[in-house]
C-alpha cells in the first residue's frame, strides 16, 4: 500500500510514500520514507492500493560559471553541473491510467482509503490486548457475582 498527502484547497499531491507501514492522523511512515506533522486543516492523508508504482531518479543540477579560454581570452561560460540525484515517485491508479505524483491534482473522493488493511502497530496491538483484558476481567467479575448469588440462594433455601 502507498500513501499520498494532498492539499485540501486544490487537491494537489504534496508527497507520495511507498510501502506504508504506519499511519496516524498527522503522520505516515513507509519503509524508506516518512512524513510527520501534517497540518490536517490544510492537508489530508490517504492510504491507497494503486495499480503500479514507478520510482525513478532524476539528476539535481545547478548552473555554474566556468572560465574557459576562447580566442586567447579568459571567458566566463555557463555550464550545467550534476550535483546529485532526487528520487521521483509516481503512482498509476488504474491499468492504462496516467502516472501521477507530486504537484499533480487528484480527486480524493474516487480514492478508497485502505489504511484499515494495514498491519497493526505494536502500540495498537497493546491497546487491543488491554481492552480485551478489561473485558475478560469484567466478564470474570460478573461470573463470580452470579455464582455468589446461586450459592446464597442454595444456603437460603436449605
Q: What is the pLDDT of residue 154?
A: 87
- b/e map of 115-135 (b: 16 or more CB within 10 Å)? beeeeeeeeeeeeeeeeeeee
Q: Which three cell numbers stand for residue 46?
A: 490517504
79 in helix, strand or coil?
strand
Q: What is the pLDDT of residue 158?
A: 55
Q: What is the pLDDT of residue 157?
A: 63
Positions in the chain short of pLDDT 70: 157-158
- Extents of the domains making up the chain: 2-59+85-118, 120-158
Q: What is the pLDDT of residue 70?
A: 82
Amino acid at each position: 500500500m502507498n500513501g499520498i498527502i494532498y492539499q485540501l484547497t486544490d487537491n494537489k499531491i504534496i508527497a507520495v510514500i511507498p510501502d506504508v507501514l504506519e499511519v496516524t492522523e498527522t503522520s505516515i511512515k513507509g519503509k524508506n520514507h516518512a512524513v510527520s506533522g501534517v497540518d490536517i486543516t490544510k492537508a489530508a492523508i490517504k492510504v491507497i492500493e494503486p495499480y503500479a508504482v514507478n520510482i525513478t531518479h532524476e539528476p539535481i543540477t545547478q548552473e555554474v560559471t566556468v572560465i574557459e579560454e576562447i580566442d586567447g581570452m579568459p571567458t566566463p561560460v555557463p555550464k550545467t553541473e550534476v550535483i546529485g540525484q532526487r528520487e521521483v515517485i509516481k503512482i498509476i491508479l488504474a491499468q492504462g491510467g496516467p502516472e501521477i505524483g507530486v504537484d499533480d491534482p487528484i480527486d480524493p473522493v474516487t480514492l478508497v482509503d485502505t489504511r484499515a488493511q494495514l498491519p497493526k502497530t505494536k502500540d495498537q496491538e497493546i491497546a487491543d490486548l488491554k481492552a480485551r483484558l478489561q473485558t475478560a476481567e469484567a466478564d470474570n467479575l460478573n461470573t463470580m457475582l452470579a455464582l455468589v448469588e446461586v450459592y446464597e440462594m442454595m444456603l437460603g433455601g436449605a
